[in-house]
Amino acid sequence: MFSKSELRRQLRRARQQIPRETRQRAELATSRALKPLIKRGKKIAVYAPIGSEMRLDHFIRTAQKRGAHIYLPYITPKNLRLWFTPIDGKLERTRGAGSLNIPQYSGKKIRAHHLNVMILPVVGVDKRAYRLGQGGGFYDTTLAANYSVLQPRKVAVGFACQLVDELPSETHDCQVDDFACELGILSFKK
C-alpha cells in the first residue's frame, strides 16, 4: 500500500486532470445529490475550496434559498480544532491560515457539535469510510474533540475518481457517514 503522501499526490493529480466541462457537470450533479440534506433551519458546514477541490456554489445557494444556515470552517492560531462561522450574505475574508492558505472568514463562531451536517473536502475516501484530507489534521482533531457529544452527519465530498478501495488509516483518523460525488451518495452507515 502507498503512503498517505504518495496517495495524496496520485489522487490530486487525478482530480486536477478532470476536464473543465466534466468538472462542472460533476459539481452540479453532486450538488443535486446533496439536496436531501437541506432542511429549513438546519446548520450545515461547507468548505471554501482550495486548489482543485470540488466547488459547491450551487448547493450553497440552494441551501440558503431553502432556509438552511451555512457555515465555513475557521482556524484559530496554534489550534487544530475548527470553529465554524456563518455565511450571512457578505463574507469578509480575514486571512489565509497555515501552509495550506485556507481562507478564513469573520463572524460569530460555533463548534462542530452545534452543526447538523458537516460537508468535508477530501483528497480521497475509501470504501471503509476513511477520509484522506489535505494533511493538516483539522477535521480529524475537530471530530475527535466531539467524540463524546452529538456529532453532525459527516459527508465527504469529491469526485468519483477520489473513491478508492482502501486508504492507510491511523487511530486518530475519523470515519465519515457518507461520500457524495457526481454518481450520487454512498452511505457508510450501518
What are the cell numbers at 111?
A: 463548534
Which residue positions form the known binding site?
Answer: 4-8, 53, 131-139
Which residue positions form the known binding site for substrate?
Answer: 53
What are the cell numbers at 95?
A: 486571512
Which residue positions form the known binding site for ATP?
Answer: 4-8, 131-139
Report d(CA 13, CA 170) in Å as an integer: 24
SS (H, E, C) the chain: CCCHHHHHHHHHHHHHCCCHHHHHHHHHHHHHHHHHHCCCCCEEECCCCCCCCCCCHHHHHHHHHCCCEEEEEEECCCCCCEEEEECCCCCCEEEEECCCCEEEECCCCECHHHCCEEEEECCEEECCCEEECCCCCHHHHHHHHCCCCCCCEEEEECCHHHEECCCCCCCCCCECCEEEECCEEEECCC
Q: Are 143 and 174 in contact (CB under 8 A)?
A: yes
